[in-house]
Amino acid sequence: MELPVLYAMRSSLYSAKARSYLVKQRIDYEERPPGDPRFPAEIVPAIGRWIIPVLQTADGRIIQDTCDIIDHFDAEMPPERSAKPPAGVQNIVTRVLEMFGSEGLMRPALHYRWNFDSVNMPFVGEDFGRGLMLPGGSSEESSTFEFGPEMSAGDDVAARAKISEFAADRMRALTVDFGVNPETIPEVERSYLEFLSLLSAHLETAPYLLGGRPTLGDFGLIAPLYAHLSRDPEPSLIMKREAWPVWRWVERMNSPVADCGEYGDVASDLFADGSIPPTLKDLLAYIGREFADEVAAHVGFIDAWLDQNADVGEGDVVGGRPYRRSLGLVTWNWHGHEVTTNAIPYRLLHLQRIQSAFEEADPAAQEEASELLQQAGLGGLLELKARRRVVRSDNRELWGAEQQPVVPA
């Protein structure tokens, strides 16, 4: 029988989210790097951009985007194995954690990968080269970045080095675009160490964020915490030294068994009665301090952009081209630093995911979730909206229906 294929790389942030889901759910699959000739031949033309991870189902359907890959498989999961808790507070909280994991730790992930060249580059460069080009390939045919350079075939080592360097240059530019610069680096490091200590404290109490099995929030967080922050040489040492429980959780998230013997006998249930323990509330309050203003600034910017670009209509590709993910640069204040970063409409999809989980909850759970998130400084996640929705169709982000905007004052 044909297996689903995951096009992914060990060194890629979002690949880890999809891979971890497949591994934890014991879904048999084959993993291929994007350097495999089938990626430029079949996948890139079908989705119109170079992006990983991409899942090809056993019957040939192509699914890009980690949220959609998880949703595809999770639709068939029995409730006791699903990554989505039953409607209620936990189902809302796990999506907040999924959003933060997927989007909110980019600064430490990029900083600890790209600003420690002598320690990291021998490893990361090799990873990039080998993932982006198979033996005997040429960097020209492997480079399917539509804006890619002219690259000539050569011996494997030289060609790998070239393609690896090209990809690394793009990511270095992205590191700055995500707000990492000499002025913010001390804050990036302080903030990351605080995160490690809060997540460690929580994982002292349970093997996964919501108890005995992983949910969407775990899969979101494994994105930055696997390839970059646990696997690259420099941050790997930091995590091992400062946050043993987090390191163990990363291992556990890549294991097909529960892998939590050090907790004693733990059932695969979520915390009883939909509860959120104090250590998780502390983590939410951290997310409120570190991420809420960034999200609000994004929504405000995107709404203003839509106001100024009134010719944009429902069904138009966000950014005009599938690979153009940012609408421009947005500036906000992060603990006294003016931070300027790309404004990414994709993030509205995460907000919509949180808000639809809120709408599904009964009134008592809504009240509880609302109070919990307000206390954490995250009340905005339940209401912020730009004047258009973002939807996904055919593996691209499109502008959706108009709606009443709710933007920061």
Ligand X SMILES: N[C@@H](CCC(=O)N[C@@H](CS)C(=O)NCC(=O)O)C(=O)O
358, 278 Cβ separation under 8 angstroms: no
Q: Are 227 and 12 in contact (CB under 8 A)?
A: yes
Least separation in angstroms between residue 66's CB and ligand X is 4
For ligand X, which stretch binds (CB under 6 A), given 47-55, 175-183, 327-335, 382-390? Answer: 47-55
50, 323 contact by CB (below 8 A): yes
By DSSP bridging, strand 5-7 and strand 30-32 are parallel
* Per CB under 6 A, 346 contacts ligand X: yes
Q: Cβ 370 to ligand X, closest distance in Å?
A: 27
Of 52 and 124, the one with the shorter C-beta distance to ligand X is: 52
Binding segment toward ligand X, per CB under 6 A, in 8-16, 25-33, 246-254, 372-380: 8-16
Q: Measured from the CB atom, is 106 or 299 closer to ligand X?
A: 106
Buried b (16+ CB within 10 A) or exposed e, 3-14: ebbbbbbebbbb
Q: Among residue numbers 222 through 241, which ones bind ligand X (CB under 6 A)?
A: none
Q: How many C-alpha atoms does 381 have within 13 Å on its Cβ side?
A: 34
Q: Position 119: which residue type? A: V
User: Residues 51, 83, 239, 386: which binds ligand X (CB under 6 A)?
Assistant: 51
65 binds ligand X (CB under 6 A): yes
What DSSP state is assigned to residue 23?
Answer: H
Q: Which is nearer to ligand X, 43 or 51 (CB)?
A: 51
CB of 346 to ligand X, least distance (A): 5
CA–CA separation, 395 vs 132, rounded Å? 21
Q: Considering the rule CB under 6 A, would residue 21 count as an interface residue with ligand X?
A: no
Q: How far is 242 from 200, CA to CA, in rounded Å?
A: 9
Cβ distance 26 to 256 under 8 Å? yes
Nearer to ligand X, 14 or 29 (CB): 14
**Smaller CB distance to ligand X: residue 227 or 238?**
227
> End-to-end distance of the chain based on CA atoms, in angstroms?
56
Binding residue for ligand X, selected from 5, 43, 47, 52, defined by CB under 6 A: 52
Q: Are the C-beta atoms of 327 and 304 separated by less than 8 Å?
A: no
> For residue 160, how far is the Cα from the chain centroid?
27
Contact call for residue 142 and ligand X (CB under 6 A) = no
Which residue of 4, 12, 213, 284 would you call a contact of ligand X, by CB under 6 A?
12
CB of 174 to ligand X, least distance (A): 7
Number of residues that bind ligand X (CB under 6 A): 10
CA angle centred on 377, ends 202 and 249, rounded to 5°: 20
Paired with 332 in beta bridges are: 339
13 in contact with ligand X (CB under 6 A): yes
User: Which residue of 7, 32, 40, 66 would you call a contact of ligand X, by CB under 6 A?
Assistant: 66
Q: Which residues bind ligand X (CB under 6 A)?
A: 12-14, 50-53, 65-66, 346
